[in-house]
Amino acid sequence: MHTVPVALPGKSYDVVIGRGALGDQAGRIRALTKNPSAIVADEEVWKRHEKALRAVLPDLPVIEVPSGEKSKSWAEFERVSELLLAMGVERGGSVVAFGGGVVGDLAGFCAATLRRGCKLVQVPTTLLSQVDSSVGGKTAINTRAGKNLVGAFHQPSLVVIDTEFLGTLPRRELLAGYAEVVKYGALGDEAFFDWLEQHGGGVLTLDDAPLSEAIAKSCAAKAAIVADDEKEAGKRALLNLGHTFGHAIEAEGKYDGRILHGEGVAIGMAMAARFSVREGLCPPGDADRLERLLRRAGLPTRLADMGSIETTAERLVDHMKQDKKVESGALTLILLRRLGDAFVAKDQDPSRVLDFLAEETHLPAL
């Protein structure tokens, strides 16, 4: 097992990674749920993997949540919260989030607000949630104005990443998670990016050693940034490489499954790299390397690659203006000086971004 500590004053916790991690951590999970607690599970994950979690928590009540981004809603937040209260979940108990990023974000927000905060145990079952959303304490739901605009910072007490769950993950979902793995190399660790160029194939075929190594490196990178900037006052914004463009693309897809979060991030990262080149900030060869690694995995890197998403530069900029990093109406983007060296670029001129997006909307698919 790999153990990655997340060091935060008064609320440190471990991320435990490996095949069989759920059984390995059974004692710690039971200790965190000895007071009245409940499971919040993705309904599809529950159908496939109920037996695995029941082996650890045989008697805990469960709330099933419909699969898909639309469950990160006011309606589901209300429904799940009312059920947790009806089940008698206590402040000293835990909400156990069992599923991908949608369930982790929703259950985490419920835990953050239930009785003004109860404990949270994350058991992520998708690659994307394992390397990103389960670690760091961001919880949220979506609104009509945009993605993740209502939420809270609420750190889990334990994150258990059992790579065995990935064996039933659809290929498209696995690739979406891999985009977030690539992100960690691109934003701050060129050596990891180089490693992915050599070993990414093993990650995507779920070979135990490279898979666990990639997840551990991703979680360690995020843990270091979160420990330095828990509430995104500065450095943590780097974790949004590709997300400002990507969230705008997701919004245009209306969260109906036509574009997955990781697919939006892949396109968004490639766009951020191309915009960095356009602004004279990043060598063209580095943007090409990033796009090549994403495409080799089978990920989209251009808007036209998602043929069913039709949009305009103006609509994308309108979505970007709802981004949480906007200050006094000015756009903030995460851009690249080179691979492994991202930075927070504040006060970006919306007209320059609009011109760039006008070019992007006319790029053909590759």
Q: How many C-beta atoms lie closer than 10 Å to residue 312's C-beta? A: 13
Which of the following is catalytic: 173, 180, 230, 360?
180
Which of the following is catalytic: 19, 119, 138, 217?
138
Which of the following is catalytic: 119, 243, 274, 289?
243
Could you list the residues known to form a binding site, using ranges: 67-72, 101-105, 125-126, 138, 147, 165-168, 180, 243, 261
* Distance, CA of 93 to chain centre: 25
Which of the following is catalytic: 222, 274, 289, 319?
222
Please indicate whether residue 222 is annotated as part of the active site.
Answer: yes
Q: How many C-beta atoms lie closer than 10 Å to residue 302's C-beta? A: 19
Inter-residue contact 350 to 331 (CB < 8 Å): yes
Q: What is the DSSP letter of 9?
A: T
Inter-residue contact 58 to 96 (CB < 8 Å): no
Cross-strand bridge partners of residue 20: none
Which of the following is catalytic: 49, 217, 236, 289?
236
Please indicate whether residue 240 is annotated as part of the active site.
Answer: yes
Please indicate whether residue 116 is annotated as part of the active site.
Answer: yes
Could you list the residues known to form a binding site for NAD(+), using ranges: 67-72, 101-105, 125-126, 138, 147, 165-168
Q: What share of the chain is helix, strand, coil (3-state, %, to 5)?
A: 50, 20, 30
Which of the following is catalytic: 49, 230, 240, 291?
240
Which of the following is catalytic: 19, 247, 274, 302?
247
Which of the following is catalytic: 173, 232, 250, 263?
232
Could you list the residues known to form a binding site for Zn(2+), using ranges: 180, 243, 261
Please indicate whether residue 243 is annotated as part of the active site.
Answer: yes
Please indicate whether residue 138 is annotated as part of the active site.
Answer: yes
- Report the run of H or E that residue 110 belongs to, with start and end: helix 101-113
- Report the run of H or E that residue 347 belongs to, with start and end: strand 341-348
Please indicate whether residue 199 is annotated as part of the active site.
Answer: no
Q: Which amino acid is at 5?
A: P
Contacts of 75 (CB under 8 A, 6+ apart): none
Which residues belong to the active site?
A: 116, 138, 180, 222, 232, 236, 240, 243, 247, 261
